Amino acid sequence: MSFFRDKVVLVTGSSDGIGRAAAVLFAKAGARVTVTGRSEQKLTVTKSECVAAGAKADNILELAGDVTDQQFIEKLVQGTVDKFGRLDVLVNNAGAAIIDFSGKNGLDIPIDVFDNTMDLNVRSVVLISQLAIPHLEKTQGAIVNVSSIVSSLFTCSQPYYPMSKTCLDQLTVQMAGTLIKKGIRVNSVNPGIIRTNFIAAAGLPSEYAKQFYDKADDKESTQIPLGKCGVPDDIAKIIVFLADRSQSEIIVGQRIVADGGSLLKNNLLSADI
């Protein structure tokens, strides 16, 4: 019997991309899943894919809303527990790069872009985790945060997104050290380039997104040593693994990089890769 049989999983940002792929894998493993995002239409697609993977329709809860809205977050956690009676796994996947299109770079970018970025990528994670912890303590559950390899990189053009992911990495460590005493394991996965709608969602042209991913998938490119970028299912598998106590119980407070070797290229001694 699957570890996730009848367990309850809440995946934020699950209307598309990595979040949707994770929700489908959890559903396939027998979990009851709450999916959430801002688009009701996309959430309907996520639910249908969960059902196609073997879940009962009544075991998938759809709640559309914005995770930066505290009232919605409260509704999200309470609605999950009200419907399913428990919470075993929280996947903090919702996040985005908020791009400033004024032409400014670095710290010249207006502070409201910083505020909105941190609100979505960090503050919302703190808030939803605070609400989920009492329920996760009862089930000896797990939290998986979805960060990014950009937390380790320098960018002069749009610095606030990498800053927010660095904060999320540190939040993972601090939560892990505190919550393991309550029996809750916390880890994160830090993806590299994954073929999703991330770039389009940031407001960049679809043609730019296509060129970006096509370049990453070029085996002659030196961007990714593996020779290709990842797909949402690659990261979803890691999320499910980190949430599965029967497989990963000894992993606590770790940030699992999944980037096809991209970070190796940022080592000054890696010229031969």
For the chain, the domains span: 8-204+231-266
Tens digit of each residue's pLDDT (9 = 90 or more) over 130-161: 999 999 999 999 999 999 999 988 766 789 99
161 catalytic, yes or no? yes
* Burial category of 110 from C-beta neighbours within 10 Å (exposed 0-12, middle 13-18, buried 19 and up): exposed
The candidate with the shortest Cα–Cα distance to 184, out of 198, 174, 192, is 174
Residue 95 pLDDT greater than 60, yes or no: yes
Please give the sequence-ordered ranges of beta strands (E in DSSP) within the chain, or none if there are none: 8-11, 32-37, 60-64, 89-92, 142-146, 185-191, 255-258
160, 161, 208, 213: which one is catalytic? 161
Tens digit of each residue's pLDDT (9 = 90 or more) over 11-45: 999 999 999 999 999 999 999 999 999 999 999 99
Task: List the single range of 89-98, 128-137, 240-249, 260-269 with lowest mean pLDDT.
Answer: 260-269
> What is the CATH code for 8-204+231-266?
3.40.50.720
% the chain with pLDDT above 70:
95
